[in-house]
Amino acid sequence: MRTGAKKRPSYRIIVKEKQSKRDGAYLENIGTYNPTRQPAEINLKLDRVHYWLGKGAQPTETVSHLIKASAKEQASKQVAGVEA
């Protein structure tokens, strides 16, 4: 779901029913994506992502890439935290 001003997009990553309208109600907001930041800012609740994937949710191709990027980022932060 796109938010933000003209030429300054930011996105909510949400869970929706397949039959619901495009801009209709959603079940849960599980994160945000801000592509205008350098590097792009991805904030995901990975525990909720895994919960919904376990329930049979099917992410879009774009959201799949964001999930993988966010998981990599958090793994690198944990490794850096252990080494420090």
Q: Give the pTM.
A: 0.82
- Sequence ranges of the domains in the chain: 2-83
pLDDT in tens, 21-59: 888 899 999 999 999 999 899 999 999 999 999 999 999
The span from the CA of 34 to the CA of 41, in Å, is: 5
Is residue 11 pLDDT above 70, yes or no? yes
The span from the CA of 63 to the CA of 14, in Å, is: 10
Chain-wide mean pLDDT for the chain?
90
Question: Which CATH number fits the domain 2-83, given the four candidates 3.90.330.10, 3.40.630.30, 3.30.310.50, 3.30.1320.10?
Answer: 3.30.1320.10
What pLDDT band is residue 1 in, cutting at 50, 70 and 90?
A: confident
Q: Which is higher by pLDDT, 56 or 79?
A: 56
